[in-house]
Structure 1
Amino acid sequence: MKKLFILFLNLLIITSLISCKKNIYNDGIFIGKGDNYSYGYDDAAISIDEGKIVDLTLRHFNQNGKEINYEEWTGKEVNGVTNPNLQKYRGDIIQEVLEKQSGEIDIIEEIPEISSNWKLAINRALENAKK
């Protein structure tokens, strides 16, 4: 009987420890800005609810500080210019962050500077969200 009670007590403690996993993030919307570089700069807005990343917005700004027109960044030729498909890459990064619940994203080979700067912006936003 005593062994059964100790086993039950251990299971109760383990269950309590698992369910008490601490949230490391405050709830809210947190902004992070990447560095300025030759193509402009980038930022990230992360929504946290109950300690989890529930939404992410990524933006890319040109050298003049104006957000780009993503309709011109589809990987197809527009007005004689073919820009990388930022619409797709943004979606891929957002999905990766939501799945991993982390800013440790892969750098995209086709847009290394932009994706590196988005990674920096995401991690700065997550730093701002930490308790």
Structure 2
Amino acid sequence: MALTNNETRSNYLINQIAREIGAIVGHDQVTADKAKRVEQASDWSWMSKYLLSKNEELPIADLVVSPKSTEEVSKVVALANDYRMPIIPRGGGSGTQSGTFALYGGIALDLKRLNKVIDID
């Protein structure tokens, strides 16, 4: 059984990390809103559907972060590494294997804003 978010990290630490990430991606692109965190944990897997149908809690991240560039992604990943915080990447939410479950809390990295092809090598 996974530890709850409050058991793994203090609210103070989560707020500190959110502030630091906000300085990278913009404070409006970082949230601890529970509805957003549940949305990020949901995918097309049978487990997501089953847990939601039983009104069970999904394993959710501590924060949802929406970077707009690969540079921002790199900086967020480096910061998460400094704090030993897991990252759960999420693209369009079309996964089918519960890969968006944040079993140990962490950062849900919402990659929808990375929607432009800059260069093809």
The normalised TM-score by structure 2 is: 0.28
Structure with more relative contact order (C-alpha pairs < 8 Å, separation 6 or more)? 2
The normalised TM-score by structure 1 is: 0.27
Which is strand-richer, 1 or 2?
A: 1
